[in-house]
């Protein structure tokens, strides 16, 4: 909670919470425990955009349902490299009005990754081109400074 207070005091408008435990095969009581723990964070994050990031593996369907039903979350990050089923879950039940941040870089080996290739080879054009928020956010990201990468995503 202290970090969240510091981020708010520093003027942060977006807060990302990384939750790698959800990629495990959790029991119902564990998912309820996660929901309860998140509710403690929710009040601290009030008034800010919260991203809950899941990475390095596929997220099981029940964990996806639990995660995407959390109140107060503005967006979600899913691994599209090792998360082979994530796209199907997103297509079938991603909540409207939420942001989707797609993990298209292998987080286990970021230095050897071909960024242009990642964007060209790991996306579903029909699905993502229909999502204007995803298109706008990826084209205007202040973290994208590589000119060839900017050109690749703007096409």
Tell me if 7 sits within 8 A of 49, measured CB to CB: no
Per-residue pLDDT at 29 exceeds 90: yes
As a whole number of angstroms, the distance between CA 16 and CA 49 comes to 8
Per-residue pLDDT at 134 exceeds 80: no
More confident site: 48 or 146 = 48
Phi first, then psi: what are they for 14, rounded to 5°?
A: -120, 135
Per-residue pLDDT at 66 exceeds 90: yes
pLDDT for res 127:
55
pLDDT for res 149:
55
What average pLDDT does the segment 28-43 reach?
Answer: 90
pLDDT for res 155:
56
Buried b vs exposed e over 51-85: b needs ≥16 C-beta within 10 Å?
A: bbbbbebbbbeebbebbbebebbebbbbbbbebee
Q: What is the DSSP letter of 43?
A: H
pLDDT for res 123:
52
What structural domains does the chain harbor? Answer: 2-103 (3.30.750), 114-155 (no CATH)
Q: pLDDT confidence of 2, banded at 50, 70, 90? A: confident
Write down the number of H helices and E strands in the chain: 8, 4
More confident site: 114 or 131 = 114
pLDDT for res 75:
93
pLDDT in tens, 90-120: 989 999 999 998 887 777 777 777 777 776 7
pLDDT in tens, 43-61: 888 888 999 998 778 899 9
What average pLDDT does the segment 123-152 reach?
Answer: 55
């Amino acid at each position: 909670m202290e970090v969240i207070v510091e981020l708010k005091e520093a003027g942060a408008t977006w807060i990302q919470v990384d939750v790698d435990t959800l990629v495990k095969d959790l029991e119902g009581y564990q998912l309820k425990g996660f929901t309860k723990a998140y509710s403690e964070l929710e009040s601290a994050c009030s008034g800010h955009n919260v991203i809950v990031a899941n990475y390095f593996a596929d997220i099981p369907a029940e964990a996806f349902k639990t995660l995407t039903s959390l109140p107060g979350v503005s967006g979600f990050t899913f691994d599209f490299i090792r998360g082979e089923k994530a796209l199907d879950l997103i297509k079938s039940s991603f909540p409207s009005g939420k942001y989707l941040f797609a993990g298209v870089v292998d987080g286990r080996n970021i230095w050897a990754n071909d960024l242009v290739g990642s964007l060209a080879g790991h996306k579903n054009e029909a699905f993502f081109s229909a999502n204007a928020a995803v298109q706008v956010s990826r084209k205007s990201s202040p973290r994208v400074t590589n000119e060839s990468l900017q050109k690749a995503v703007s096409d």
